[in-house]
Structure 1
Amino acid sequence: MSALEELVLSCSGTESIENNTFKRLSTLKSLELYKNQLKQIPIFLPSGLEILKLADNSINTLHATDFEGLVKLRVLDIRNNLIATLPSSAFSSLCNLQSLILDGNNMESVSAPLQLPRLKYLSMADNKLNSLPASFFASFESLQFLSLSGNFLAKVPLDLPKSLLSLKLEKNQLKTVRLRDMKHLENLSEFFLSENQLTAVDGAQFLPNLTTLELSKNQLQALPLRLPGRLQKLDCSNNLIQRVTAQDFQGLQDLKHLFLDNNAVSIFEAGALQQCAQLSNLALEQNLLISIPLRQVILRIAGSQVPSLHP
């Protein structure tokens, strides 16, 4: 098969692959082997490979030689395996790797540094990580999307790359977040912090390009103050917020979506949303509202105690 470019052997019940099976497929660019019973990375893969998908197998160890010679590899998906550790030498040959997916493994620790200068997308969600080495992100000069959701992190890593556009830290054990310590992330547009143990979020104004901030299912008692002016979506549902004031939304002229479902809001100050000229979606389900000033927004207030509505 001298002209073969794409090979899909997924969901085939494959338990092992002999050495050199794919080595002579010099034109092969994409190899998909997900949902099998493989226990190791196939040895001697063709050097022209660009996409390798090994998700949903039983691979438990990564070796430095597993990806040797794969200098053209751009996408590597090893999610939902049994990998416990991530050695720093595992990806040393992958100088052009752009997307690395390691979700759903058993990783408790990772080594540093990983030399992946062109990596743009990194996901290590749903593992068992409680910390990351100080220099872990040192070589990630191009990283734009990072997901560490579903781990046991108690602190936000402080050496995150400046190039980040999206950061996902949902379902961890964060109790405090000092965004002023992250002010070097001037390009960050999306920040996801839902399902943690946050009681307060401080310093959001230091992230000037933030457009999405998700804080649902925490323990916030008030909305974050001094939010960045470019914010378009704020999700603070399922918290302990009791009062909404005009000061909370000062300067948020671009805010379009506001979610305050399942809180304890009993006071919603008149004029609180006056500056939010772009607001089109306001959700206030399951609160303790006595009254609320109506605006030209989509209101979802099911389950709240509102005896009267005043335009």
Structure 2
Amino acid sequence: MKIAVLFCFFLLIIFQTDFGQNEEIPRKQRRKIYHRRLRKSSTSHKHRSNRQLGTPQTTIFTPVARFPVVNFDYGMEEKFESFSSFPGVESSYNVLPGKKGHCLVKGITMYNKAVWSPEPCTTCLCSDGRVLCDETMCHPQRCPQTVIPEGECCPVCSATEQREPTNLLHKQLPPPQVGMDQIVRKAALQSEEDEAMKEDTEQKTETPESRNQRQLYSEGDSRGGDRKQRPGEERRLAHQQQRQGREEEEEEEEEEGEEDEEEEEDEEDPVRGDTFRMPSRSPLPAPPRGTLRLPSGCSLSYRTISCINAMLTQIPPLTAPQITSLELTGNSIASIPDEAFNGLPNLERLDLSKNNITSPGIGPKAFKLLKKLTRLNMDGNNLIQIPSELPSTLEELKINENNLQAIDKESLSDLYQLVTLELEGNNLSEVNVDPLAFKPLKSLAYLRLGKNKFRIIPQGLPASIEELYLENNQIEEITEICFNHTRKINVIVLRYNKIEENRIAPLAWINQENLESIDLSYNKLYHVPSYLPKSLLHLVLLGNQIERIPGYVFGHMEPGLEYLYLSFNKLADDGMDRVSFYGAYHSLRELFLDHNDLKSVPPGIQEMKALHFLRLNNNKIRNILPEEICNAEEDDDSNLEHLHLENNYIKIREIPSYTFSCIRSYSSIVLKPQNIK
């Protein structure tokens, strides 16, 4: 019995020791352990959801695109998804890749290292042709009630919790914790001060000096300032604050070696009911002239003021030199007076899109003081001309979906640093655009003029242009002088125009050395155009009336065509032969011939050793003969990975077993469904 009692007593001592050790773990360390577990659980949940949402076996396999999946520890995984997510849904065919290193996002080319925010909580980066997105991590708030403003992703303290106006541009230092002995002294001091105040009020007369002294005393009390202390009280408090400051510095030095995300999570805990705090006596940064007061519906995040869909009728008067970004999207602003941005001299990004701004409503000096402005967005307004006296620091100017009637030679003057200019959806044409309008733009690389009324390629394009977008116009011909001075041009998009192959001049672009991508989709082409650029890698000809691929049309290209998209045309068996693809056999990686009138596999497919992706679906093919796609003797040399043959008239059971022997995975061969006739 004694042995059992001693054994229980020994176990009790061990449990108490373990419990005490756990209690000695610092509060910040326990919080870090909790956040690590939270991140691991959220990451594992994300992996499970990704597996559940994976593409099924019957899904149409199309060219693989990489989309990053961001987990909470800022790691990056690459999730492979097909362009088509459901059976029977064709890809968007928006496949013009653009210049190497750039990213194509929803039809818009993003330059390498470009940063944008597709959603309030997400920031994306173009990194060497790959889109990397990261989710915003929110800091914990120290108030019991929080709200998430519209257009923001992080919670902020609700208005009812803010007892007095807070200087949003200067973050106050966290108040230090105070021991119980200081609380007792503070209560005693407060009682003595109350008695003194009572004696003052009982006096019948009061001198101006005493009144001023009492006012200063009360103001200092309301601001948490210094009060009269007992003899030696200030010295003791100062010594305790210094000691507390040294302890905080030692803690910060211990945490410097940890990861960045853990440093962000090491915020002070919210005030508990058993914790006493008092205002810090350390000097606060001097506030700017006038406390920043934001209109209803606006929010502040770092150095960005966001007033998206805030029902504003005018630009709010703001005085905040620290602000670098102002978002006023989706309001009812109609005018911009000269003094509108006087209090925001350091603005770098200004978004005025989707308002009712008119050209007469913009003051002549409205943008003149913005000496650091690099990005200006005025999409979706009622402008009839480009605003005057824009800052020469501009690198990006967007005036899409307005009512621009003309561009003269002075409209873009002094914008020698402009890289991106977007003027889509206006009333511009070769008649009202001066040939010298683009001359000042010495750095322009990216120009969008789609959805206008051009009948020819605009004249006077700058020599620095790299990408030109002219879709949805009325262009009928491409003359020899269109691209005489654009030796750096890399991408030309001319889809949805009225171009015929015989209206393309032989010397229009054949000598271009950097032109790699051309999109002539949805024009009036009957043949694949001849005299294509020597450097061409990507040719997109969707939705024309092409019946024939002339022989040797790709023979002069170096290093050779890699991507050829001929979907939704009228190609038949007699429209191509072996010499049609001459010059591209060694280089062609993707060939789209779907939605045509083919009755058999085109000749020469098995000789395309670099081919990765072949689409022959939605034709009239009835038989797949041996060695039409794979050469049994050279299977090891084939790179074919994806093959589409669905929606033809093929009898699948009659296909020999070795017909697709060169394709590495049978799951990437799509044969069903087939038509029955």
TM-score under structure 2 length normalisation: 0.40
**SS of match in other structure, 2:553:** helix
1:248 to 628, 652, 655: 628
Give the 3 Å change call, closer, same or farther, for CA 139–181 of structure 1 in structure 2: closer
2:530 to 158, 178, 181: 158
Separation in 2, partners of 1:124, 1:168: 10
Residue number in structure 2 paired with 1:194:
567
Residue pairs, 1:255-266, within 5 angstroms: 255-266=640-651
Separation in 1, partners of 2:665, 2:424: 42
Separation in 1, partners of 2:457, 2:554: 26
Q: State the one-letter code of the partner of 1:60.
A: S
1:218 to 590, 596, 603: 596
Residue number in structure 2 paired with 1:206:
583
Deviates more, 1:39-48 or 1:67-76: 39-48
Q: Contact 1:180–1:202 at 8 Å: present in 2 too? A: no
What is the CA distance between 1:168 and its match in structure 2? 0.3
Residue pairs, 1:167-182, within 5 angstroms: 167-178=539-550, 180-182=552-554
Q: Contact 2:554–2:582 at 8 Å: present in 1 too? A: no
Corresponding residue pairs, total: 284
2:474 to 96, 101, 106: 106
Residue number in structure 1 paired with 2:440:
69
Deviates more, 1:155-164 or 1:69-78: 155-164
**SS of match in other structure, 2:453:** coil
Separation in 1, partners of 2:489, 2:554: 21
Q: Does 1:33 align with 2:399?
A: yes
What is the CA distance between 1:139 and its match in structure 2? 4.4
Richer in strand (by share): 1
Q: State the one-letter code of the partner of 1:137.
A: W
Q: State the one-letter code of the partner of 1:97.
A: I
Q: Contact 2:643–2:669 at 8 Å: present in 1 too? A: yes
Separation in 2, partners of 1:279, 1:64: 56
Give the 3 Å change call, closer, same or farther, for CA 5–77 of structure 1 in structure 2: same
Residue number in structure 2 paired with 1:270:
657
Give the 3 Å change call, closer, same or farther, for CA 104–128 of structure 1 in structure 2: same
Structure 1: state its 5+ residue gaps.
Answer: 289-303, 306-311
Residue number in structure 2 paired with 1:119:
489
TM-score under structure 1 length normalisation: 0.85
Separation in 1, partners of 2:422, 2:514: 22
Q: Does 1:141 align with 2:528?
A: no
Q: State the one-letter code of the partner of 1:150.
A: Y
- Aligned-residue RMSD, C-alpha: 2.0
Residue number in structure 1 paired with 2:51:
none
Q: Contact 1:256–1:280 at 8 Å: present in 2 too? A: no
What is the CA distance between 1:206 and its match in structure 2? 3.2
Give the 3 Å change call, closer, same or farther, for CA 223–111 of structure 1 in structure 2: same
Q: State the one-letter code of the partner of 1:243.
A: N
Residue number in structure 2 paired with 1:233:
613
Deviates more, 1:217-226 or 1:204-213: 204-213
Q: State the one-letter code of the partner of 2:577.
A: D
Q: Contact 1:233–1:258 at 8 Å: present in 2 too? A: yes
**SS of match in other structure, 2:591:** strand
Q: C-alpha offsets along residues 135-175 of structure 1, whole Å, 9 cap, x if unaligned? A: 11144210111100110011222211121111101111211
Q: State the one-letter code of the partner of 1:157.
A: P
Q: C-alpha offsets along residues 192-225 of structure 1, whole Å, 9 cap, x if unaligned? A: 0011111133233631111100011111111112
What is the CA distance between 1:85 and its match in structure 2? 2.0
Separation in 2, partners of 1:127, 1:36: 21
Structure 2: state its 5+ residue gaps.
Answer: 1-369
What is the CA distance between 1:226 and its match in structure 2? 1.7
Separation in 2, partners of 1:205, 1:68: 41
Separation in 1, partners of 2:592, 2:666: 17
Separation in 2, partners of 1:31, 1:44: 10
Residue pairs, 1:72-91, within 5 angstroms: 72-86=443-457, 89-91=459-461
Q: Contact 1:121–1:145 at 8 Å: present in 2 too? A: yes
Q: Does 1:7 align with 2:384?
A: no
Residue pairs, 1:276-287, within 5 angstroms: 276-278=663-665, 280-287=667-674
Separation in 1, partners of 2:556, 2:523: 24
What is the CA distance between 1:180 and its match in structure 2? 2.8
Separation in 1, partners of 2:661, 2:510: 44
Q: Contact 2:527–2:550 at 8 Å: present in 1 too? A: no
Q: Which has the higher contact order (CA 8 A, sep 6+)?
A: 1
What is the CA distance between 1:179 and its match in structure 2? 5.2
Separation in 1, partners of 2:617, 2:513: 34
Q: C-alpha offsets along residues 83-103 of structure 1, whole Å, 9 cap, x if unaligned? A: 12225x331xx1111100001
Q: State the one-letter code of the partner of 1:189.
A: E
Richer in helix (by share): 2
Separation in 1, partners of 2:618, 2:442: 46
